[in-house]
Every structure is written in structure tokens, then in C-alpha cells.
Structure 1
Amino acid sequence: MAMSGMGGGKGRGRYRAMAEINVTPLVDVMLVLLIIFMVAAPLMTVGVPVDLPKTNASALNQETEPLTISVNAEGRIFIQESEVPTEGLVERLRAILAEQPAGAPERRIFVRGDKGINYGRVMEVMGTVSAAGFTKVALLAEQPSGTPAAGGTRPATPAPAQPQRR
């Protein structure tokens, strides 16, 4: 009779596999990855290092991502992060203009010029952009860190100056 209590009754005393998945380690890993990406995301949008001049102009609202043309301290020209020679700038911009869908609003172009660069070089780039067929061209400047920006934006973010229209 001592044998009947040792696991003989239809598997009641036997070990059965647990049918539930423990998701705690998965949640821990996902939270760590989320924190890593939240910290790393702002660092991935740096692009070309340009020392922008300061301005008190307020930031403009935008629906689409603008195209950024940068002129660094050496006078080299970049479209987004890729360097473009001055001679090839018009062709590259016309190709971008041709890729734009029909009926879409014209893409805005921001020109970022290093504050140590000659003003004439920045105006030369702006003239080249206008020659390519773009009319919504604006200069970017950085707002001073002590002045609050209009519209509730952070004061240290770059803000476009008044657009130059031709």
C-alpha cells in the first residue's frame, strides 16, 4: 500500500512541463535596446560639421523634409552628407527636381554656411540652387542659447532665416 502514494494515480504526482513562456528576459532586453537607441538616435543625425551663425528668427513649420546644402569652412559643398563639386551641383539638383512627384509642393532647400566662410561663396551656392530651378531657398542660422525661441522650440536648434525668393 505504500506504493500507491508514490506517483501511481494518473500522473498527479509527476512533473509536467510548464506551458507558459517566461517573457521577463525578453522585456529586459527590449528595454535595454530601447534606451540604447534613444540615446544613439540624436547622434546619428549630425551630418557635416558646420559652425552656424546665430540669429533671433523663429523656426518655420514644415510638412516635408527639406533638402540641406552645406558649405563647410573649407568652402566644399555637400548635399545632405555627400560632397558635390560646384560644377556638378546644378545637374544633381535638377535630377532631384525631376524625381519629385507631379503635383507635389516644391521641395524647400536650406543652405547652411559656416560662419567663417566668405559670404560671396554662400551667395554663389544660392545662385546655383536658383539656376537649377528651385525657388524656395532659405539660409540656416543657429539661435543664440540665451534667447527663447518662438513657438516653444528649443533655443539651441538651428532655425532657418527668412527665405530668399527669386
Structure 2
Amino acid sequence: MSGMKGMMSQDRRKPMSEINVVPYIDVMLVLLVIFMVTAPMLTQGVKVDLPQTTSDPIQQDKDVESITVSVDSNGAYYLEVGDRSGDPMSLAEVREQVAKILSQRTNGEVLVRGDEFVEYGVVVRLMAELQAAGATGVGLITDTPRERP
């Protein structure tokens, strides 16, 4: 029996006085992964400065040619730089051309002229692509309302 008693005393350990932080590290890493996945989702979307009811026309530099992207009622895109207008382009071509032009300029404003009957999603996709191409501001061109008799 004395041999058994000696064995049991060796298995006994004194209680640990330190805090086990491994579970806290695991929780922290899980939260870090969750925030890393959700953060890009929060920043998606197009930043649009909504027009005020009493707005003045945009003042343009006379030295800098304006960049205008037009969308017709069929959803085709046309890039206009200054007075020069081009052929219909795809959305990827518009982004590529606008990125090239804006890389040589300090002013990153682009104007969008959308047909009244074009789908809303077409204009929003265009604005997102212009923002991705480096446009710092996107303005929407509108006509003044006609007086109704």
C-alpha cells in the first residue's frame, strides 16, 4: 500500500494561478476575421452629392476640357471630351478611357448625361465605374423643367 500512496502523491499537482488566455485569443481572432469580411461590404456603393433645390450651374475651368459620359435610351455609353464625341463604347472601355484622361489631370470631375428613359441601374453602374476610374466628383446633367400650360 505504501507503494500506491507514493504514486498518488506524484500525480497531484498544485493548482495553477495563471489565467488561461488561449480562449480569449481564439475569440479575438474570430472577431477579427468577421470584421475583415464585413468591412468591405460596408463601403460599397456610390457616393453621390445630392443637388440642392436652389443650385447654381457648375463653374468649369475654361482651360480644362470637360469629360462627359452620355447614356442613351438603349443603354449605350458615349465619351465626350470637350467638343469631341466618340462612338458607342462598353462600360469597361469607358472606365479605361476615363482613367487614362484623369491620370493626367488634377481635376477629377466627370459629368453624366443620362437619357430620361434609361434604367436607374445603368446610370448607377456607370457612376460606380467612374468612381473606380479615379473620378473625385460625378455630376448629373439635367434640363430645366419646361413650363406646363
Number of corresponding residues? 89
Deviations 1:83-124 (A, max 9, x none): 221122221111112233xxx4x1421001000010110011
Q: Distance in 2 between matches of 1:141 and 1:65?
A: 19
Deviations 1:47-99 (A, max 9, x none): xxxxxxxx874312222432000000110001012122112222111111223
Match among 35, 58, 61 for residue 60 of structure 1:
58
Could you state the TM-score of these two structures normalised by the residue count of structure 1? 0.48
Deviations 1:1-22 (A, max 9, x none): xxxxxxxxxxxxxxxxxxxxxx
- Alpha-carbon contact 1:68-1:112 (below 8 Å) kept: yes
More helix by share: 2
1:111 corresponds to: 112
Shift of 1:127: 0.4
**In percent, how many aligned pairs have the same letter?**
28
Say yes or no: does 1:85 pair with 2:83.
Answer: no
Identify unmatched segments of 5+ residues in structure 2.
1-52
- Alpha-carbon contact 1:71-1:114 (below 8 Å) kept: yes
1:137 corresponds to: 138
Could you state the TM-score of these two structures normalised by the residue count of structure 2? 0.53
> Counterparts of 1:1-166 in structure 2 under 5 Å?
57-63=55-61, 64-80=64-80, 81-82=85-86, 83-100=88-105, 104=106, 106-146=107-147
Write out the 4+ residue segments of structure 1 that deviate beyond 6 Å after TM superposition. none
Larger relative contact order (Cα-Cα within 8 Å, sequence gap ≥ 6):
1
Q: Report the 3-state secondary structure (helix = DSSP H, G, I; strand = E; otherwise coil) of the residue aligned with 2:68.
A: strand
